[in-house]
Structure 1
């Protein structure tokens, strides 16, 4: 029979769990204390006949003692441990890391899927498989789950937090989550499972992946250059998405711990400071087995659960493949609550029971959209190269009732043009210039890497990024004329619209492969990977100035990225430009086929004419501002009326908030004077650029839409 942990350490832990000393065990077995000590230190092992007596003394079966792949069930039961208040009176009214992200399932999808990609087991070459399961509990199913998490022990702590709800944000969120559960009689669980991943390996407290996720904040153990995470903040989205601040975890380990790998369980609760029965508590709490090594055996550590317990906690995994399951209890999505019924697919018309499951249907749709938008490249293979990732989303209710069938996210559906472009690159079927429909043009764009260590002006080397451009695939491929930039882990980092495109440009999509995504043979790929990773903020949604970039390279290092962006936009404009036709091309045949009549020239209208906004490109800058490039069409006339560009935020109701300009400059055919556009006489087209003042934005730019108006007079 296959055995797990070494007998000595295993026996020592079982004695602690059972509250027995070596001397007490020796007395029960009729042996000397020295004999038991020799077993624990590994100097000897008990005879087979003694094994049965040890099993009886520990209250377990003989097979458990022989295999040692699980703890005995003797000892202290699983319970909640709440961290006591600090002796110096300090208070923490929430986990600051959670405030770095919104309670948005699309943000959750980006962060959790990125973490799974970073933890993929690479030895077998297979992709990491990630499944998102929305599960709504009502009635007896909800009652059974609350019993499993010892809700009655938690309720006094939630009540104490509710009393403080008026004074701080976390308390208000938690209070709303508890009231929603009781008033509606339901609870939404969101489980994130990954397979072919490393799992939460390592000790409960010492350095390792388990402690980094469960015990610590702002710690990232991702050492690979192509890893997406680097701040240790992403895990906070799990707790931010829970209206109850509660996440349960079941991990299957790729490396054994304590001689075993399956069903390593722990729970963590994030609440603000509170006082219960006159005793202060600092904030977090853990759900696990009391650690006999802790003072008073109070601190909860992970435990190896049986299958029945895992099932009661809705954390059963599909296979014994390594990976981790995170169960977000009381999942909520602020953005989906604001969505209207029209956001649902046409085939999701109201049916019996749909009203009850509308929330999880919307969350299902938003999860699938986010995964397809941000991870399409990681899900794309070709030319003998396998995808790095497979993702699916499903929605259930109560005892396995299917609300939405499991949907496998297909990159060729979510991002058809870019998927086509990347596959063409992998398969070597790209072209130098677009001449036919369906082609993918490729161009190398240089990134000049700076010297590290604060050197100014020097260049380490030139990394050749790969730019892919292809035509947009139609209405399913929006927004158009964008460049998706990514590096080694193939998660989309930056999405930006190409500015100043010629009028009449055919819709296109573009992909920029940088670092190791450009190919391991690309010059300075490893150095570019490290440089660009340092240029990403905690959200990993752009490349620009960061503290790490300043400290490791120089305060001006970000300008190398600005230079890359400029070169990429120039290359795109060149690749999508329509070739000019010769004046003689097809001329003779065309003249014979057409009859041209001379018409009198149209009379130029007299009086003032009003310019009209004809084209607009807008992107979100690194500082969170709106950056626009606008084209204006000017009718023929004697006098052109000066116009004032006005930036507004689109809102559902009421007046649109007006934004201030931080920058406003003329590009062609006009000049800017005190915020007013004055046009050159006789021009028919003009272009101007601008950037909004972030301090005038009432909400985060990423959550808004921009409206640009041209107004006559003073712009009122």
Structure 2
């Protein structure tokens, strides 16, 4: 049984919920007000016989007074509280934080699973995250709408729909309400985590509960290896709801008000609206009116019973600490694209009661599994006596019936080559170079950490760990890529490797940086802190950020570029096939052959020759720039014409927009002077590399194609 709350604070709250004063209770009990005050302040406790009278006065049973693990039923009923409009007439037409992410279940999986990893209890066991898609129709839908007091909410949704044409959030909400009524269905998506901290702390003061439920842009993370740092990830919960509604049930790792189980609250995100002539600012909360608030209007969390949790579809599987988030009206914008591409596909799954509806939740199920395996395969991998940090599963239901059974995400099925590499590292079976199929090569690569505050010099060198193995088993995954991760082992950066030696076998690589490289790695915590600051809100790359500039320097990101260069160089060396000796295996063949050398020589041209671009590798960098590595063939000649590399964007019509160079560097057989390639006399080939200036890009790089031309010094 749970340990009950202290009698004084418990009694004080019950009196507020019942709307009674200490003097009124004293009068009902036939005692002095000083006696009741002594109970409230903890100076004394009532005798068992008096507790019977207290129970009668509060309208509850004596067991509730003795155990004090729940509130009495004398309090105000659970209801919705809508924040009033601002007195100065200001209007918020939506939560700006929600616009940082797409309404995509794969984005939701990345952000919520990262948050659960950050809140994992430090007991050596993994955090377990379960995703449940549940479609409601008919009576099940009506029962749920009654439980959330839909009739009280409907006037607010109607007000938003009336102004939907002028508000982006309003249009989404209007579409969500119409979808529910026209199709007679509602999709719930519940995210449960277990062995996590839960939403601890008071409703209003600093704590995890207030950070998630009451505030925006606040991140309270436990541990230096935490993934999040902006406080934006929670916004994906509301962004994924077409109705802007999320309900929460949390089991706490630390008791609050003497309780740990079924701490409930709901939050609604709507734009400014006017209902019955009264303006409302935006958010609303579903809870019990707080007697301490003016007029007892502000809703706070409450401790629900099992029946209420069941009606709200928030029943948790066990009493293990953690939180359940129920996204009401879940939608996935990517499904719309899939529907258009499947318009002529006759092989889609169908359901007797509604093929389109059930197909939606099946697709969402598949996308969740794919996203979890793609981004969290490393966190789900263990080996060598080391347990994984995460277990994840997805299931799909319809009106309580199973549509797709509980599916445990298997990292070895989603990322077989990389999972094999990481497990070999944990088990200590890596090699210096891959010579047989299935082997994993390990190499240390340096990350030279800058001094904070813009000071010149290096704090120290962190040794990250690079793992490389053949891409066997990865039928659909992109080959020749590096997945980079740090402390919580979520894949942060995915990047291809350019200029891979010709004839190399396809490979997959993993870079373990910061605390992911192990506690014994030098400067692991410092590297963790540095890279965390180099991540944008999406946590999908490392590069220049405002925090990196403020805490270190505007050029600090170059340390990350240097790490990338070291990683790519090490990979090219590891995957290159070893050169065969001139004597190896060919002696007998050479003795049997006679090679006749040609006597005639080709006469070199006497005039200037023009080099020709023969090879080009181009990738998109961390900051959105094009990065190129090019090779030039130089004909024989007395004079080699200098050339100007020109980068352009491919367009359907009109002239190609020209890009500026942020960097242009000679590698072999040439020099770079003021953007002009001048070639070494007698050279037959030359190599150079460069990166474009992002500020000269007129279109987002991922939506473009690059054209590289070599022009003469006159611009021809």
> Does the alignment pair 1:23 with 2:23?
yes
Aligned to 1:369: 370
Rounded Cα–Cα distance in structure 2 between residues aligned with 1:594 and 1:472: 39
SS in structure 1 opposite 2:165? coil
CA contact (8 A) 1:337 1:359 kept: no
Aligned to 1:450: 450
1:626-705 aligned at under 5 Å gives the runs: 626-629=626-629, 647-648=649-650, 661-663=659-661, 691=692
CA contact (8 A) 2:480 2:508 kept: yes
Rounded Cα–Cα distance in structure 2 between residues aligned with 1:392 and 1:412: 14
Aligned to 1:428: 428
Shift of the alpha carbon at 1:708?
A: 5.4
Q: For 1:553-595, what per-residue CA distance to the aligned partner results, in whole angstroms no more than 9, with x for missing partners?
A: 2222111111111111111111111111122211145569999
Rounded Cα–Cα distance in structure 2 between residues aligned with 1:322 and 1:343: 42
Q: What is the RMSD computed on CA atoms of the aligned residues?
A: 3.8
CA contact (8 A) 1:498 1:569 kept: yes
Q: For 1:284-317, what per-residue CA distance to the aligned partner results, in whole angstroms no more than 9, with x for missing partners?
A: 1100000000000000000000011111111110
Rounded Cα–Cα distance in structure 2 between residues aligned with 1:655 and 1:360: 41
CA contact (8 A) 1:500 1:617 kept: no
Rounded Cα–Cα distance in structure 2 between residues aligned with 1:629 and 1:409: 38
Rounded Cα–Cα distance in structure 1 between residues aligned with 2:632 and 2:394: 45
Q: For 1:583-613, what per-residue CA distance to the aligned partner results, in whole angstroms no more than 9, with x for missing partners?
A: 22111455699999999x9x9xxxxx99998
Aligned to 1:112: 112
1:601-620 aligned at under 5 Å gives the runs: 616-620=617-621
Aligned to 1:606: none
Shift of the alpha carbon at 1:697?
A: 5.6
SS in structure 1 opposite 2:166? coil
Rounded Cα–Cα distance in structure 1 between residues aligned with 2:533 and 2:219: 14
SS in structure 1 opposite 2:432? coil
Aligned to 1:167: 166
CA contact (8 A) 1:416 1:477 kept: no
Change (3 A) 1:656 1:303: farther
1:227-266 aligned at under 5 Å gives the runs: 227-266=226-265
Q: For 1:606-662, what per-residue CA distance to the aligned partner results, in whole angstroms no more than 9, with x for missing partners?
A: xxx99998774423432x3444556799999xxx9x99976459xxxx999977534
Aligned to 2:142: 143
Aligned to 1:407: 407
**Unmatched runs of 5 consecutive residues or more in structure 1:** 604-608
Change (3 A) 1:197 1:566: same
CA contact (8 A) 2:119 2:222 kept: no
Aligned to 1:279: 278
Shift of the alpha carbon at 1:695?
A: 6.7
Rounded Cα–Cα distance in structure 1 between residues aligned with 2:239 and 2:461: 41
Aligned to 1:127: 126
Shift of the alpha carbon at 1:32?
A: 2.5
Aligned to 2:714: none
Change (3 A) 1:150 1:598: farther
SS in structure 2 opposite 1:338? helix
Rounded Cα–Cα distance in structure 2 between residues aligned with 1:517 and 1:176: 43
CA contact (8 A) 1:452 1:553 kept: yes
1:130-529 aligned at under 5 Å gives the runs: 130-340=129-339, 349-352=348-351, 353-399=354-400, 401-455=401-455, 457-476=456-475, 478-529=477-528
Rounded Cα–Cα distance in structure 1 between residues aligned with 2:356 and 2:585: 63
CA contact (8 A) 1:105 1:366 kept: yes
- Which segment drifts farther, 568-577 or 258-267? 568-577
CA contact (8 A) 1:3 1:66 kept: no
CA contact (8 A) 1:648 1:656 kept: no
Q: For 1:467-502, what per-residue CA distance to the aligned partner results, in whole angstroms no more than 9, with x for missing partners?
A: 111111244252111111111111111111112222
Shift of the alpha carbon at 1:356?
A: 2.2
Q: For 1:150-201, what per-residue CA distance to the aligned partner results, in whole angstroms no more than 9, with x for missing partners?
A: 1111111111111221222111111111111111111111111000000000
CA contact (8 A) 1:85 1:281 kept: yes
Change (3 A) 1:150 1:596: farther
Aligned to 2:11: 11
CA contact (8 A) 1:627 1:692 kept: no
SS in structure 2 opposite 1:511? strand
Change (3 A) 1:249 1:485: same
Shift of the alpha carbon at 1:359?
A: 1.5
Change (3 A) 1:656 1:441: farther
Shift of the alpha carbon at 1:55?
A: 1.6
Change (3 A) 1:474 1:325: same
SS in structure 2 opposite 1:446? strand
SS in structure 2 opposite 1:453? helix
Aligned length: 701
Rounded Cα–Cα distance in structure 1 between residues aligned with 2:150 and 2:674: 63
Rounded Cα–Cα distance in structure 1 between residues aligned with 2:283 and 2:654: 41
CA contact (8 A) 1:616 1:631 kept: no
CA contact (8 A) 2:250 2:264 kept: yes
- Alignment TM-score, normalising by the size of structure 1: 0.89
Change (3 A) 1:433 1:539: same
SS in structure 2 opposite 1:200? coil
CA contact (8 A) 1:444 1:466 kept: yes
1:569-580 aligned at under 5 Å gives the runs: 569-580=568-579
**Unmatched runs of 5 consecutive residues or more in structure 2:** 603-609, 712-716
CA contact (8 A) 1:93 1:168 kept: yes
Rounded Cα–Cα distance in structure 2 between residues aligned with 1:429 and 1:647: 46
Rounded Cα–Cα distance in structure 1 between residues aligned with 2:279 and 2:630: 58
Aligned to 2:90: 90
SS in structure 1 opposite 2:453? coil
Shift of the alpha carbon at 1:33?
A: 2.2
SS in structure 1 opposite 2:238? helix
CA contact (8 A) 2:197 2:321 kept: yes
Rounded Cα–Cα distance in structure 2 between residues aligned with 1:59 and 1:18: 9
CA contact (8 A) 1:660 1:692 kept: no
Rounded Cα–Cα distance in structure 1 between residues aligned with 2:3 and 2:444: 56
Shift of the alpha carbon at 1:29?
A: 2.3
Change (3 A) 1:580 1:448: same
SS in structure 1 opposite 2:479? coil
Rounded Cα–Cα distance in structure 2 between residues aligned with 1:341 and 1:490: 35
Change (3 A) 1:661 1:78: same
